[in-house]
Structures are given as structure tokens and as C-alpha cells.
Structure 1
């Protein structure tokens, strides 16, 4: 039997089972490979930007129009932060029984 090439396998970070590098789900524990941010991470950072932008503008004392513009800019910045922070693949914990 042929042995796998060492660069083509890796260990699951949760159960330490040897799996193929291209595997999407660990056969041992059920952990899943996630590409990019989850929906929750995207919504959380977008919401923070949506609130933080107008809050900063209102503290400065600018008007409501600038607060609306700051909300839009903050929401976009939050969305992009989520995608920049989680731009690579990572393993998500297995589902709880």
C-alpha cells in the first residue's frame, strides 16, 4: 500500500485524526472547514459599524444627515472588516450532541 504524501494530509484540530488536506468535514468528529466569515460574524461587525459610525458623529455634534452617512460608511466598514479578518479557511468546532 502506498503511503500518502506528507503535504497532502493534516490533523483535525479537535480530534487529531489524520485527514486529507482537501477534506471539508472531519470523519472523526464532524468538524467543518469554514471559508470566510460566518453569517453571524458578518452581521455582528456590520451592526457594530452601523451603530458606531453615527454615535461618533453625534458625539462630535454634527447633524442627522452626517449621522446617516456615517451609518452607511460604518456598516460597509464593518462588513469589510469581517471579510478581511476571516479571509482564509479555518476549522469550526464539531456540532454538540
Structure 2
């Protein structure tokens, strides 16, 4: 198999130029995904601090009004799929309930 065939098969592109563009863009997406994962991990740590403070002061672990604000923020910024994304993020940040 030639390099051209391997590159176009891996990217689905029909030209070397398109395959190169797709390859470069995928590298960018991978780097962005790494940053997003790091930011979510950071958010999880901050959320744990908030939960601990709330619980130690006699409050509940989860503040549903705040979660609704977060859901609205993501929905407003990203549309309906933003709500699902925010729900997943909130689930990750709650830890075990």
C-alpha cells in the first residue's frame, strides 16, 4: 500500500491535500480534547471543594438551583445538546452521591 492510499484511507479524503488538512486538524482536535479533559478535571476538583464546604457547614451536597443555572448557561451557549453536555459534566463533578 502506498503512502497516498494509506493517508486517504485513514482520513477518508480523496486528495493528498485534503488528507493533510484533515490530519493536521485532527491533531488540533486531539490537543483541544486534552485541554477540555484537563479543564473538566480541574472543575471536578473545585466542585469537590465546594461540596466539602457545603457539607461541613451543614448543607446539602448538591445545590439544584445552581445546577439549573449551569444547565441554562450551557443550553443558551450551545443549544439543546449543551444541556446533555452539562448534565454529563455535572454528573462527573458531583462524585458519588
The reply to whether TM is greater than 0.5 is no
State the TM-score, normalizing by the size of structure 1. Answer: 0.31
The one of the two structures with greater contact order (alpha-carbon pairs below 8 A, sep at least 6) is: 1
